Structure 1
């Protein structure tokens, strides 16, 4: 990861030049260290892209290189291609830019991300904080494998996949609308619809364990979706009004004992 960062940022050349020549140009050497703590690999939370973004930002600031948020997005995307991790083009935005975001980009190989911040009323933010819960499945799945399947279906013009991808774009717009007008219930319903669409794009985004978890808490939640690639990692749910996190935790312990 550190080497990919130095390559993407232009600190070391792709080929040629000895270590001595590179150090002479830099004026000295330096130590790079990166670590993700308390977040499991394959969590679906975009940690690889966020860690890459943190490395790029650190190198830019250490070297005194002026940059914009768009520069960070582009350099992280280049890093992911160098490492062949297959991360999404928008994952890094989650960690670099604070708050709730609506992210768009036009078609084409060169992606120019447009990031719009979603403004929530204090009441909506409080309700969302109270009703939003993450559940860790204990399973891992690499995004790279998912993306190969998704792109394969898209290139193959599979009707279900093309329909679902088109619908997900529309659903994202509606989600933003419902949150901005303070309708968390409406947002939860759209989250549920998104989950059904995700399974049309890639059946592997769900599995027996995920379906069992969702089924066991069905009457406690209004909306559900996997994070990231799915097939494991974290699940996100919107609780019904009046339901607490403790009630969900107790139900899961009752059904799965201590396996979650």
Structure 2
């Protein structure tokens, strides 16, 4: 169930329009539990089925393709494949044109995510801000919004409100990383006057605190963009 709850937290923090989805999911979950217990089903069975259902629902809301089912290969088969990789690594005549994961990754991207990748590849690291309440010495400071940026607008995505969900999926695929390092300080001024940032600062109350961070392509992501995106 921990994986399912983690996906739900990502969906909630990503700025998605998930209120109705969460309500509907909660109602279905409660109904399933009540019926299962009334029918005498073991609690473990009910929890397992709900976990699969919640994972599928959260992946759908995030626009994330479900992971491929395990092939069921035996230990011997896996070792044979590993030995073949090591053999190729020592073969001076073997040349791998592309990473074998690229084809799978393309199948797990939305068109908007491809736009974001191309934007990051062309424009480089982008500024993001977190908005927190301001407390003495930071003790008890509450996170209001995280990862606010202009990446969605500047890359021209069709669904800007899903930008954080897209970035979470790109992070899952190893294409981007969320850095604690800042970019040029002057670039944050434009981000901090955006409506969503101003709204978060209003929620934070008196003297809100902004934490400046950045989003980068990983070296793997750079190679993926160079290889796969026009």
- Which TM-score tier does this pair reach, normalised by the shorter chain? under 0.3
Task: Say which structure, 1 or 2, has more relative contact order (CA 8 Å, 6+ apart).
Answer: 2
Superposition TM-score, scaled by structure 1 size: 0.25
Superposition TM-score, scaled by structure 2 size: 0.27
Q: Which structure dedicates a bigger proportion of its chain to helix?
A: 2
